[in-house]
Amino acid sequence: MKMAKRDYERVMKYFDEDGDGKISPWELRKKLGMMEGEESVMKDVELLVEELDSDGDGFVSLEDLVKLMEEAEEEEKMRDLEDAFEMYNDSQMLGFITPNSLQTMLSRLGESKSIHQCKSMIHHFDLNGDGLLSFHEFTVMMMH
């Protein structure tokens, strides 16, 4: 589920204690509950801020935060797709969904389909015409 701009702004406001529209290493360390005085922890926080900081001012802006959170959402979406693909993956032909493996999984989900119907479903998203769905083709299908 994609976050709305106001959700990002709420997260930003939580970390941005002084209200300047940016998150400093100090604010980040404090909000994450890190102990003050630990030099190695502060260095780690500074490195994190430096990595996220797109304009080089030493702070994390709202845009930096949005980018980070959207990347995390995309990574989670890909993990979910990989998990779903594995459910349909043919145990004999690893890395592909076959008409047989699709039929088996659909029947486990309570949906009865013939092999011909499963071949038709696969054909619709089979980009290279091999009669199978690769992970890439599965991803294209799920994004539609």
Per-residue model confidence as pLDDT tens digits over 37-65: 566 677 888 888 999 999 999 999 999 99
CA angle at 64 for the pair 67 and 7, rounded to the nearest 5°: 70
Structural domains of the chain sorted by starting position, each given as residue range(s) with its CATH number in brackets: 3-70 (1.10.238.10), 88-141 (1.10.238.10)
Say how far apart CA 23 and CA 14 lie, in whole Å: 10
What is the chain's alpha carbon radius of gyration, rounded to the nearest angstrom?
Answer: 23
Q: What is the pLDDT of residues 125-137, one digit of tens each?
A: 999 999 999 999 9
What is the three-class DSSP state of 39?
helix
The pTM score is 0.61
Q: Is the pLDDT of residue 35 over 60?
A: no
A 10 A CB-CB count for 79 gives 10
